[in-house]
Amino acid sequence: MKLLVLGATGATGQQVVGQALQAGHEVTAYVRNPSKLAREPGLRVAAGDAADAGALERALQDKDAVVSTLGRRRSFRSEQLFSRSMKALAPPMERRGVRRLVLMSSFGVGESLREAPPLLRLHYRVFLHGIFADKKAAEDYLRTTRLEWTFVYPVILTDGPRTGQYRAGERLELHGWPTISRADVADFILAELRNRAYIRKTVVLSY
């Protein structure tokens, strides 16, 4: 596939890019600062802001699918990154005929908050309320489009290895402080692009 990856310099985005290249996909990394991205054979770079619709449309040329791993890193302020970027991305995707979008969101966004273990639910409400509200706004907007989206809800992310041994489902039984590695999230995202098991659905990932 020919993939456009947003958030390619983030910890999960780097995993997506690396695994996609290993699998033989053609990858274009859409980044604000290309100097932060290590160059690899077969990797193209498109520079632009996540909310720049014109730059996004140019980057979408000849693409088969888009993966977004945009995040706020260690910040607890959303700055409406997710809603602004998706509102800039979706219209040019529809114009270009690029229907497939896999968006890494977060477990705890929207209705999934009710299913979080008590300690995790408290953490989300105290520290991530603003970011999760913006992620929900982005998802609500995408639901109104004709895109074939999948919203990926990983639990607490770690820098552990790629194992391929994780659970995925629209709902999972979770306890305590559940985790999953960024490498396994990337593994699932690329598998979902092939398998298309969660078109216009959310999917929770955890060990």
Tally of CA atoms within 13 A in the half-sphere of 136 that contains its CB: 13
Q: Specify the number of domains making up the chain.
A: 1
E runs forming strands in the chain:
2-6, 26-31, 43-47, 65-68, 100-104, 148-154, 156-158, 167-169, 179-181, 201-206
Q: Out of 28-42, 56-70, 104-118, give the one with best mean pLDDT.
A: 56-70
pLDDT greater than 70 at residue 76: no
Closest CA to 14 of 24, 27, 1, 32: 27
Q: Are the C-beta atoms of residues 20 and 42 closer than 8 Å to each other?
A: no
Q: How far apart are CA 188 and CA 200, in angstroms?
A: 16
E runs forming strands in 54-105:
65-68, 100-104
Alpha carbon 59 to its chain's center: 17
- 114 exposure class (CB count in 10 Å sphere: 0-12, 13-18, 19+): exposed
Q: Within 10 A of 59 (CB to CB), how many other CB atoms are there? A: 23
| Mean pLDDT for all residues in the chain | 94
Closest CA to 33 of 60, 59, 10: 10
CA angle 85, 9, 37 (to 5 degrees): 125
Its pTM stands at 0.94
pLDDT tens for residues 167-184? 999 999 999 999 999 999
CATH classification at residue 23: 3.40.50.720
User: What range defines the domain where residue 56 resides?
Assistant: 2-206
Q: Which of 113-117, 122-126, 199-203 has the lowest mean pLDDT?
A: 122-126
